[in-house]
């Protein structure tokens, strides 16, 4: 039994993928995708800096290959993302006039969304537009275009691809203030008559934080908006966070420190068990609310490829996913499947 079969009655099960998979350099990974998942999200290659590296010059080749791969294998494709302040192209950051920025944003959203009309299950239209206190992030877009950029981005995406689902996606979506901000943002879009189909909780979580209660409250609060709730970038870090160290300077260089990279050889059984329990708990919660949750996507397939080996400190050995560095299923994989076997 696979993940996608086990949760077929509940939600789509996905993973973020990198270019090695679709260029067939990673056949193990590609086969695992076909077996276990029914939706994929490109981890990096559809971001602005790759899609439109020069003004008006679009690079579609890689994205086209992703779409072909998912169409051929009947996999729902999630576009990530159309509008984000990070991984922008340099030329965008240099724009000084509001008119030019607005026209460039419009062209970017419309050109890409239009190209893949009918082939995309959903778009992360806007990514990470909120500050931690729930106010709008002071990005280039907000600074020059005001909150209209949010409304317009969704409108342009809808015009270009009326059938794709359109999402707002962000992290720390279980935090009280940010949650309030996200709810306000969605209500603002709804009030403007803009189509928004769902909200993405990225779900970059830890072994204990956020609590199940916080996750549940958030799922219910977002579902109350009348839109779909998705876990879009799920992973569970097992490593200490430098910011949690007493007196630690955020800028301090912890690279190579054993304290910050305690499992460089292997993950102790006790932690593997803790991770498996954590995954089981959160999946039980997802299943409980599967009338509200439409998709759960992991941010990667195997531990070796996870961005968490390089963040917030580079070159660590993290174990955040369901498959190990050789693509073997971990205890966490089995514990997630067990939920459905028990029921």
Where along the sequence are the contacts to ligand G3I (CB under 6 A)? 43-44, 86-87, 127, 171, 202, 233, 307
φ and ψ of 16, to 5 deg: -80, 140
Least separation in angstroms between residue 283's CB and ligand G3I is 21
Please say whether the beta carbons of 21 and 54 come within 8 A.
Answer: no
Q: Closer to ligand G3I at the Cβ: 6 or 29?
A: 29
The Cα 234–Cα 127 span in angstroms is 15
Instruction: Return the SS3 of 59.
Output: coil
Closer residue to ligand G3I (CB): 147 or 312: 312
The distance of Cα 302 from the centroid of its chain, to the nearest Å, equals 16
C-beta of 62 vs 290, nearer to ligand G3I: 62
For ligand G3I, which is the closer residue by CB, 187 or 315? Answer: 315
Residue at shortest CB range from ligand G3I: 307
Least separation, in Å, of the C-beta of 85 and ligand G3I? Answer: 10
Whole-number Cα distances in Å, 336 to 6, 13, 173: 9, 12, 23
Given the structure tokens 């206190």, which residue do they identify? 133
Q: Least distance in Å: CB of 81 to ligand G3I? A: 7
> Any residues with CB less than 8 A from the CB of 339 and at least 6 apart, and which?
6, 280, 283, 284, 287
Distance CA 80, CA 50 (A): 12
Question: 138 with 149: CB under 8 angstroms?
Answer: no
* Nearest-10 Cα torsion for 186, 201, 255, 250: 40
**Residues that are catalytic:** 233
Residue 10 or 222 having the CB closest to ligand G3I: 222
What's the rounded Cα separation, in Å, for the pair 8 and 14?
Answer: 12
Q: How far is the CB of 84 from ligand G3I (least distance, A)?
A: 7
Shortest reach from residue 87's CB to ligand G3I, in Å: 5
Q: Which residue, 62 or 217, has its beta carbon nearer to ligand G3I?
A: 62
Q: What is the DSSP string of 77-144?
A: EEEEEEE-SSS--HHHHT---HHHHHHHHHHHHHHHHHHTTTT-SEEEEEE--B-TTSSBP--HHHHH
Distance of closest approach, residue 174 Cβ to ligand G3I, in angstroms: 15
Q: Three-state DSSP class for 12?
A: strand
- In this structure, is the dihedral angle defined by the CA atoms of residues 164, 167, 169 and 175, taken in order, positive or negative? negative
């Amino acid at each position: 039994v696979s993940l996608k079969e086990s949760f077929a009655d509940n939600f789509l099960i996905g993973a973020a993928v990198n270019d090695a998979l679709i260029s067939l350099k990673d056949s193990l990974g590609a086969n695992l995708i076909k077996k276990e998942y029914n939706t994929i999200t490109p981890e990096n290659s559809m971001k602005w800096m790759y899609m439109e590296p020069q003004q008006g010059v679009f690079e579609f080749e890689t994205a086209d290959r992703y779409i072909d791969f998912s169409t051929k294998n009947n996999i729902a494709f999630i576009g990530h993302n159309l509008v984000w302040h990070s991984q922008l192209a340099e030329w965008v950051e240099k724009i000084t006039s509001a008119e030019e920025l607005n026209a460039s944003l419009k062209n970017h959203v419309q050109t890409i969304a239009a190209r893949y009309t009918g082939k995309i299950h959903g778009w992360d239209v806007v990514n990470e537009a909120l500050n931690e206190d729930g106010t709008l992030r002071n990005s280039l877009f907000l600074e020059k275009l005001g909150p209209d950029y949010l409304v317009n981005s969704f409108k342009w995406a809808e015009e270009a691809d009326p059938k794709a689902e359109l999402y707002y996606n962000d992290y720390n979506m279980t935090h009280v203030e940010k949650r309030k901000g996200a709810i306000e943002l969605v209500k603002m879009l709804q009030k403007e008559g803009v189509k928004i189909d769902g909200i993405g909780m990225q779900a970059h979580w830890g072994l204990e934080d956020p609590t199940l209660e916080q996750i549940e409250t958030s799922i219910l609060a977002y579902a109350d908006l009348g839109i779909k709730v998705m876990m879009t970038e799920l992973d569970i870090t097992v490593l200490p966070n430098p910011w949690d160290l007493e007196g630690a300077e955020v800028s301090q260089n912890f690279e190579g420190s054993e304290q910050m990279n305690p499992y460089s050889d292997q993950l102790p059984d006790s932690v593997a068990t803790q991770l498996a329990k954590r995954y089981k708990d959160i999946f039980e919660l997802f299943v409980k609310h599967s009338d509200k949750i439409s998709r759960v996507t992991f941010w990667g397939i195997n531990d070796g490829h996870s961005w968490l080996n390089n963040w917030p400190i580079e070159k660590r050995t993290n174990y955040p996913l369901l498959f190990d560095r050789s693509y073997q299923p971990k205890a966490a994989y089995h514990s997630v499947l067990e939920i459905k076997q028990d029921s």
